[in-house]
């Protein structure tokens, strides 16, 4: 019989765990339950990331529409806000009309469409 002991690393914000310390450090930096997270999607879409407190305020004062406006319509920032909102106001994620998969598809379609138009505009025929 063999016995193998391994180190397991756990996210301080959610229930994710793994055997790679570097992967867990990267995960924690972007974890949607981390109130001080760095949003990779905002970076990719050239949005200015708003603080979670600002996003909570937008959700509280104007609902999902205001949250979309303040977050620059970033699906991950919206998801993070809705996911953390249970601690803030007791509402669950499913109580909001939000589908992350659809939101991500819309954003990627927009980004790819803009890239395609930029490519067409920069094309110079010989």
Q: Is 48 a domain residue? A: yes
**HEC readout, the chain:** CCCCCCCCEECCCCCCEECCHHHHHHHHHHCCCCCCCCCHHHHHCCCCCCCHHHHHHHHHHHHHHHHHHHCCCCHHHHHHHHHHHHHHHCCCHHHCCCCHHHHHHHHHHHHHHHHHHHHHHHCCCC
Question: Are residue 51 and residue 15 in the same domain, yes or no?
Answer: no
Question: Are residue 103 and residue 80 in the same domain, yes or no?
Answer: yes
Question: Are residue 88 and residue 60 in the same domain, yes or no?
Answer: yes
Instruction: List the end-to-end C-alpha distance of the chain, in Å, as a whole number.
Output: 71
Q: Is 61 a domain residue? A: yes
Tens digits of residue pLDDT in 96-114: 788 889 988 988 888 778 7
Q: Is 12 a domain residue? A: yes
Domain total of the chain: 2
Q: Is 8 a domain residue? A: yes
Tens digits of residue pLDDT in 63-87: 889 999 999 989 999 999 998 887 6
Which range of residues forms the domain containing residue 49? 41-122
Question: Are residue 46 and residue 27 in the same domain, yes or no?
Answer: no
Question: Are residue 115 and residue 75 in the same domain, yes or no?
Answer: yes
Question: Are residue 55 and residue 11 in the same domain, yes or no?
Answer: no
Question: Are residue 60 and residue 116 in the same domain, yes or no?
Answer: yes
Question: Are residue 61 and residue 24 in the same domain, yes or no?
Answer: no
Q: How many CB atoms lie within 10 A of CB 39?
A: 20
Question: Are residue 75 and residue 101 in the same domain, yes or no?
Answer: yes
Tens digits of residue pLDDT in 30-71: 999 999 999 998 888 788 999 999 999 999 898 889 999 999
Whole-model pTM over 0.75? yes
């Amino acid at each position: 019989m063999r016995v193998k002991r391994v180190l397991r690393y756990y996210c301080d914000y959610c229930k994710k765990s793994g055997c790679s310390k570097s992967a867990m450090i990267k995960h924690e930096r972007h974890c949607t339950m981390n109130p001080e997270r760095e949003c990779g999607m905002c970076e990719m879409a050239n949005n200015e990331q708003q603080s979670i407190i600002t996003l909570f305020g937008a959700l509280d004062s104007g609902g999902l529409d205001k949250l979309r406006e303040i977050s620059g319509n970033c699906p991950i920032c919206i998801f993070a806000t809705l996911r953390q909102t249970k601690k803030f106001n007791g509402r669950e994620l499913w109580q909001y009309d939000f589908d992350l998969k659809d939101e991500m598809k819309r954003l990627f379609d927009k980004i790819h469409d803009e890239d395609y138009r930029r490519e067409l505009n920069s094309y110079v025929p010989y």
